[in-house]
Amino acid sequence: MIPVHIEKRTLRVFVVDPDKADREETPEFRAAKQRLKEDGHYRCYICGSTEEMQVHHRIYHMFANLVDFEKLKEWCEEWDIYGYGRLLKTQPITSIDDIRNMMVLCQDHHTGTSDEVDGGTGIHNLPIGEFMMQKLALPGCNPIPQDGESFEGAMERVRHHQKREEQAANE
């Protein structure tokens, strides 16, 4: 078993942010949000919260004029988080605001940052593997310090789980 330790990285991201029209909430985006609500998906994809909900474009709005919509459609069918990829399989994606490109997140898991650990919990702040561990970790074992939590608190949570695992293996 790997000993518990802190892994701290500074990410520098260099991306061409294409010229684009001013961002406005389109009728398609409003309809997608409404449908997500009607279909019972208006809760955080990561934690299940229904507070401070935001709708995230999985492929960012800034890339709307660069994305290959056929590839986006295929990807949305592979990672079909709400079932719309299968449901709308025969329909092309022609807009970044298509419901298949949406992910409902609470504010913490969308743009959340943490002053305590100079990091964050949001999809805009973490690499995808670390971000998804917030959803996939065993109960009480989330390795990402949450807002208001120190590295030490997160480490203690993970250590406590490892001790329980070791005790169970020795019994």
Is pLDDT larger for residue 8 or for residue 69? Answer: 69
123 within some domain: no
Average pLDDT of the chain, as a whole number: 87
When divided into structural domains, the chain yields a total of 1
Q: What pLDDT is stored for residue 146 in this prediction?
A: 82
Give domain status of residue 127, yes or no: no
Residue 158 lies inside a defined structural domain of this protein = no
131 in any annotated domain: no
Q: Which domain, by its residues, includes 88?
A: 27-110
Domain-embedded: residue 169: no
77 within a domain of the structure (yes/no)? yes
* Residues 136-155: tens digit of each pLDDT: 998 888 888 887 888 888 88
**Is residue 49 included in any domain, yes or no?**
yes
In this structure, are residues 123 and 56 in contact, taking their beta carbons and an 8 Å threshold? Answer: yes
Tens digit of pLDDT for each residue in 15-73? 777 766 567 889 999 999 999 999 999 999 999 999 999 999 999 988 998 999 999 99
